[in-house]
Amino acid sequence: MSALRFEVLARSGTCEARVGRVTTLHGSFDTPAFMPVGTAGSVKGLLPEQVAQTGSQIILANTYHLMLRPGAQLVAQMGGLHGWMRWDRPILTDSGGYQVFSLAQIRRLHDEGVEFKSHIDGATIGLTPEAAIQVQNQLGADIIMPLDDCPPAAAEGLGGGAAGSEPRIEETVVSEAVYPRLQQACERTVRWLGRCVRAHERRRDQALFGIVQGGIDLRLRSWCVQRVIEYDLPGYAIGGVAVGEGFDQVRSVVEHTAPLLPADRPRYLMGVGYERDLLVAVRAGVDMFDCVLPTRNGRNALAFTSGGPIRLRNARYADDARVIEPGCDCVACGSVGGRAGFSRGYLRHLFMAGEMLGPVLVSAHNIRHFQRYMLDIRRAIIENDWSLIERNWPVVRSWLEGSGASVRRRC
């Protein structure tokens, strides 16, 4: 078999959403899929079996972090990512590009590649398209990504709005001042993709996706889609979103770009996002997501619920005997081996006392929250009934009502 197979199992009757299954040499995952992030080879605080218990069928690991520490060669020598971290299901690695542009101090960016200072020890490291693929060949994930030129929107004024001043939907053509940089990033991303395709040495067991850049400029997005799909790759990603721009801009880009990508390949929206973002993207035809929100927020005592997030450090929860979300079947809320779920009061105490178990439990809950949400989204698509989402997920409903757009009416 090939490195990746994608089957579409059901399509929404009213929008671009579809339910599918992606099969890799390490097993399958259902789409639309949410991938929790295991940055340095560990979904923070959770054992692999606990990650699996959240319903996660695929996880993402960050090439940037792993190449700096412990190094891809060591991981390869220790059995590759799957064996090393003891996760025998599908894994996706990013190219490292996003972190180079967001975490590291860039020393030089040119057509050959990018030189940056390691955020760990300040060492100067070079990353080329070929190196990004070689490193990912060593790590051995099932799905790998090409190096792209991914300028942060907000930091460089590429359409990123200041906090609280989201640009309106219409503003989807960038100003003349920033357009050249955006166009350069697009063209470079396409050139680099060609080099990545040629450098890829494990085509039989690793699927290399293409990435579409273009910022919030829809003409550039269209242009980039055309160039990228010429490579006839097993999947395509929409990159360069959630890098500082507002929700309406993300929405505009996704609703424009996703339908341009081949319908018989999985579409992956990188680094997104909140529940409403996922819903909008699924309805535009996106199949895969990753986001650090459940784990990063979980470590900070922010727990997702169907009615919106709650801050567990708040004093009001000290004597709250309820679990985070009554009815949730996660390890924090659900009954396990005769024990009832943990109360919000106890969880608050864990955070106030600096106990590790707090981050562990709320991370597990938050990931399960997103997986239960994806389950309902897949069901809504199969049953062609989006009212399910409106009923079960008030956090989305209230936004939909606020924006005047009902899920049911739109789909």
Summarize as ranges the residues that interact with a second copy (CB under 8 A): 40-42, 44-49, 52, 65, 69-70, 74, 77-79, 83-88, 318-319, 321, 331, 336-343, 345-346, 349-350, 352-353, 355-357, 359-361
| Nearest-approach distance from CB 351 to a second copy, in angstroms | 11
The secondary structure element, H or E, covering residue 183 is helix 179-199
- Could you confirm whether 376 is annotated as catalytic? no
Contact 390, 269 (CB under 8 A): no
Among 94, 142, 217, 277, the one annotated catalytic = 94
| Nearest-approach distance from CB 346 to a second copy, in angstroms | 5
Among 142, 217, 287, 290, the one annotated catalytic = 290
Is the CB of 47 or the CB of 197 nearer to a second copy?
Answer: 47
Is the CB of 337 or the CB of 404 nearer to a second copy?
Answer: 337
| Nearest-approach distance from CB 355 to a second copy, in angstroms | 5
How many H helices and E strands in the chain?
17, 17
| Nearest-approach distance from CB 330 to a second copy, in angstroms | 12
Look-up of token digits 């350069």: 184
| Nearest-approach distance from CB 361 to a second copy, in angstroms | 8
CB atoms within 10 A of CB 336: 14
* Closest C-alpha among 279, 155, 257 to residue 211: 257
Residue 333 backbone phi and psi in degrees, to 5: -95, -30
Q: What angle do CA 383, 384, 390 make, to 5 degrees?
A: 95
Is the CB of 52 or the CB of 292 nearer to a second copy?
Answer: 52
Angle between helix axes 218-229 and 179-199 (nearest 10 degrees) is: 10
Contact 48, 86 (CB under 8 A): yes
Distance of alpha carbon 85 from the chain centroid = 20
Is the CB of 136 or the CB of 343 nearer to a second copy?
Answer: 343
- Could you confirm whether 264 is annotated as catalytic? no
Is the CB of 110 or the CB of 339 nearer to a second copy?
Answer: 339
- Distance from C-alpha of 94 to C-alpha of 119, rounded to nearest angstrom: 18
Q: What angle do CA 160, 165, 171 make, to 5 degrees?
A: 55
Which sequence positions are flagged as catalytic? 94, 290
